[in-house]
Amino acid sequence: MSRLASRLAALTGWRRYAVALVAGALASAALPPLHLLPLLVPAFVVLVWLNDGSQHRRAAYAVGFWFAFGFFLCSLYWIGFALLIDAGRHAWLLPLAVVGLPLLLALFHGLATLAVYSTDLGGRLGGAARVLALALAWTAAEWLRGHLFTGFPWNLMGYVWTVSEEMLQFAALVGIYGLSFVTVASAAAAATLATPTGGGSGGSRGWAPPLVAGLVLVLLWLGGAARLPGPADPAAGVPGVRLRLVQANLSQEKKWRADLREANLGRHLQLSSGPGNEAVSHVVWPETAVPYFLQRDKVAAALVGGLVGPSGLVLTGGLRAAPDAAGVPRIWNSMLALDVNGGVVAAYDKGHLVPFGEYLPFAPVLARLGFSKLARGAAGFAAGAGRRSLSLAGLPPFSPLICYEVIFPAEVVAPGARPGWLLNLTNDAWYGRSAGPYQHFAMARVRAVEEGLPLVRVANTGISGVVDGYGRVLRRLGLGQAGIIDSQLPKALATPPPYARFGDIGIGLLLTVAAVFLAFVKLRQHLAER
């Protein structure tokens, strides 16, 4: 193994970066839907060994950059599917989206390997410290890309654990970023097997880091198993609430066609009014299930409202048009609540819009270059006021989240009184039968764990489901299926978990402890060399 490590460290030029790219691509297979977690070990071990051979800062940055580029290139390929919906307008942007976005995201993670190189915690100490430094720097890079420039915290490394309910429970303490830290540290720990610790020649102590990493994972799994109560009971829930989630499975090509408006609405009405409807208190449709101004179509609104009884509501995604505070006409991507008469009794406007999807950044400049947003219409959507809780008839207060608003840790619940559940309306039809919808659903599940709140997710083409406050999937309707889910609304956990109360303070403390420890190691190294 030492020979392999030496050969990788000695690589130069394009071969060095090609190996880094392949290693990153290998790591991406651990994400949903594949969940090939063992591949993380060789991927991050190779990354560590490649960085060991860095001769200067530029080379150290480049190895992390190309690793991350391979990771995102293979895990975000599905973004290109959205550009093929209206290929005549957007196909020319395919290389920019499929390659450009991974390049931008990789910029953050090049900083991780650069930071490890700059600390000089490598071979002379046998490398255990550099493994911890990599986990620290990688997690910091994830946090930065999740917050800067509107943020894009998609495919954080911790999401590989959505395959295990037990491991997910650690997110209740330190959030998804804490899971990322543990994941990278554990995967990279095996790199020390080829690097003797303490300057010796035998390297027997090189077994200690991977053994410790394995023990930590076992303890986290056992802790998660202990936290989980008995088997989830889908029948237990909030008294008096019976939800019907409607997944019509309309392709994106057909969804916005004016000539199919009546047929598409009829499809939702048919599924909503099917057998068992009399027991349903609330009907829920996905994002832009009604892709026009329902408030202006009194006949359609009455048909939708008629799906429920006098005390019920229909919650649907739709468009809302109204003047803003300055009197300027605006259009919002909204969730509308309709009563039995078809009247809109409440609305939530999406606050965190998708760049290039729902609005065009730097529109005056980019429009002249031929860029346009993916969503139909000349004008972009206006951004709503942001997070809020809604209290509606017959329902516990809830936090509405439209589409990718659910992917932002610590940003899914408004400050103040804690809601009783999370409602995520989305339309992943843009991405077809790709990895994208699976990744999106996995991220939504983690928000339930972090907040200790049940999650109801309704998607146009899937994946729809009901998730309890432990992240366990109680009901699920798969990708590309048409149908309904009738379900109770699970109860929120009685006590909010630490992450729900303190947000990223927990992972901040964890990273601080790791940084202090590395500083101590560096100080000892410096004193030993004097």
Of 144, 136, 98, 102, whose CA–CA distance to 119 is shortest?
136
Please report which helix (H) or strand (E) contains residue 153, including its range: none
- Residue 369 in 3-state DSSP? coil
What's at 366, amino acid-wise?
L
Residues 6+ apart with CB under 8 A from 103: 69
Helix ranges restricted to H, 329-406: 363-368
Q: What is the DSSP secondary-structure string of 242-260?
A: EEEEEE----HHHHT-GGG
Distance in angstroms (rounded) separating the CA atoms of residues 254 and 264: 8
Bridge pairing between strands 421-426 and 398-402: parallel
CB distance 70 to 20 below 8 Å? yes
Known catalytic residue: 522? no
Closest CA to 514 of 276, 49, 184: 184
β-pairing, 483-488 vs 473-477, is unpaired
Residue corresponding to tokens 């290998």: 26
| DSSP codes, 413-459 | S-SSS--SEEEEEE--GGG-SSHHHHHHHHHHHHHHHHHT--EEEEE
Catalytic residue among 142, 165, 255, 350: 350
CA-to-CA separations, 182 to 129, 439, 470, in angstroms, rounded = 14, 20, 20
Assign 317 to helix, strand or coil. Answer: strand
> In 3D, which of 52, 38, 37 has the Cα closest to residue 4?
52
Distance in angstroms (rounded) separating the CA atoms of residues 92 and 79: 14
Catalytic pick from 255, 373, 403, 451?
403
Q: Is 262 a catalytic residue?
A: no
Label each residue of 93-150 as H, E or C: HHHHHHHHHHHHHHHHHHHHHHHHHHHCCCHHHCCHHHHHHHHHHHHHHHHHHCCHHH
Residue type, 389: S
- Considering only CA atoms, give the Rg of the chain: 25
- Measure Cα distances from 267 to 207, 251, 270, 372, 433 in Å: 60, 13, 5, 30, 21
User: In the block, which residue shows the tokens 């394995």?
Assistant: 214
3-state secondary structure of 323: strand
Alpha carbons 240 and 430: distance in angstroms, whole number: 35
Within a 10 A sphere around the Cβ of 324, how many other Cβ atoms? 10
The rounded distance, in Å, linking the Cα atoms of 57 and 202 is 30
* Catalytic-labelled residue, pool 287, 358, 405, 451: 287
Active site residue 287: yes
**Greatest CA separation for the chain:** 84
Give me the active site residues, please.
287, 350, 403
